Amino acid sequence: MSAMEMERELPQPPTDGITATVFAPSDNKLLVSSWDQSLRLYDVSRDQALISQINTPTALLDCAFYDGAHAVCGGLDNAVRWVDLDTATVHTLGNHASGVRCVVARPDGPIVSGSWDKTIRLWDPRTRAATGEHAQADKVYTMALSDNRLVVGMAGRHVWIWDLRNMAGPEQRRESSLKYQTRCIRAFPDKQGYVVTSIEGRVSVELFDPSAEAQRRRYAFKCHRVPAQAGQQEMIYPVNAVAFHPRFGSFATGGCDGFVNVWDGVNKKRICQFRQYPTSVAALAFSHDGALLAVASSYTFEEGEREHAPDALFVRMVNDVEVKPK
């Protein structure tokens, strides 16, 4: 199969920075949020992939499926919004005091939003109301769900782990083992730990178990870097995105170098590297069965204002050899 047959570019992509891509829990629908104030829903199995474009009053910074028919999103106007994907209607659940940087959701639990106002809030979609507000150490940049655990990554390299069944206080308060600002956190499918990425071309693999023995097994590694050439410094790129393969537990990282790498976290090896995309890889998502990988190629302004390739969405067919630990 040729490279073109392995990958397709989706039509009608967002027109301004892509902030999140997420596949539905049980089919090939893809939800995409962006700075162009739209939430787009694609069915990547169809030639005419765009199903709907739902416009909102603000730039959207994140989105998540609640179930196959509903989603949640948050953005710069501080609001957390509930979206009926079948009818393309939007309802505001409530507001933070500052921008909503990230949202997570699942059908058997609450919706959680994280904000630059240094709080997380829990929402009940049945009553469309907040059920709790919890102060964090600093601005919230990224979150991940792992069963009943919620991992919150913040400014100042703070990482707090909460038990959603007991929100009296965080279960663990940690500091990222990476020296620079946290960019993305995602949890392992086996619920044993999580991965943290930073703006300085590094990834750390962390375990929930706080015991000294378990913590000795955590590690960090360099990636998304270009070695120094004659007379030039090493180029180091932010690692913007992480996505775990649902069957094999390997994970893909996407960086501002435009590359996607796939890693075997257990054996500490890179399994493969996909082609270089036109600009920064801003977001990644595997489909529910791991057969597809969505790649958002979207400049993240790590080098300020400059000419860059237009925003684009690619969906790649994934072979087991590319994602299965050896």
Structure tokens at 161: 């782990």
| pLDDT for the residue numbered 231 | 72
For the residues 278-282, what does the mean pLDDT come to?
97
The pLDDT of 197-225, averaged and rounded, is 95
* H-run or E-run covering 6: helix 3-6
- What phi and psi values does residue 262 have, to the nearest 5 degrees? -115, 130
pLDDT tens by residue, 25-62: 999 999 999 999 999 999 998 888 999 999 999 999 99
| Amino acid of residue 242 | V
Cα–Cα distance measured from residue 248 to residue 210, given in angstroms and rounded to the nearest whole number: 25
CA R_g for the chain: 19
Which residue do the tokens 């655990």 mark? 149
In angstroms, the CA 208 to CA 197 distance is 16
The span from the CA of 158 to the CA of 174, in Å, is 6
Residue 326 binned pLDDT confidence (cut-offs 50, 70, 90): confident
| Rounded-to-integer distance, Cα 126 and Cα 128, Å | 6
| Cβ atoms of residues 30 and 315 within 8 Å | yes
Measure the CA–CA gap between 255 and 211, rounded to whole angstroms.
32
pLDDT band, very low/low/confident/very high, at 1 (cuts 50, 70, 90) = very low
Q: pLDDT per residue over 110-144, tens digit each?
A: 899 999 999 999 999 888 899 999 999 999 999 99
Q: Encoding tokens for residue 283?
A: 């977001």
148 touches 164 (CB < 8 A) = yes
C-alpha closest to that of 188 among 221, 241, 144: 144
**pLDDT, mean of residues 232-244:** 93
Could you give the C-alpha distances from 139 to 74, 95, 98, 288, in angstroms and in order?
15, 16, 10, 31
Average pLDDT over residues 91-101: 97
- For residue 173, the surrounding DSSP H or E stretch is strand 172-175
Token pair of 278, please? 């036109």
Contact of 311 with 6, CB cutoff 8 Å = no
- The one-character DSSP state at 320 is H
User: 321: part of which helix (H) or strand (E)?
Assistant: helix 320-323
Q: Which two tokens stand for residue 67?
A: 């179930």
Q: What is the distance between the alpha carbons of residues 118 and 52, in angstroms, rounded to a whole number?
A: 33
- Res. 296: pLDDT tops 90: yes
Pairing status of strand 269-273 against strand 281-286: unpaired
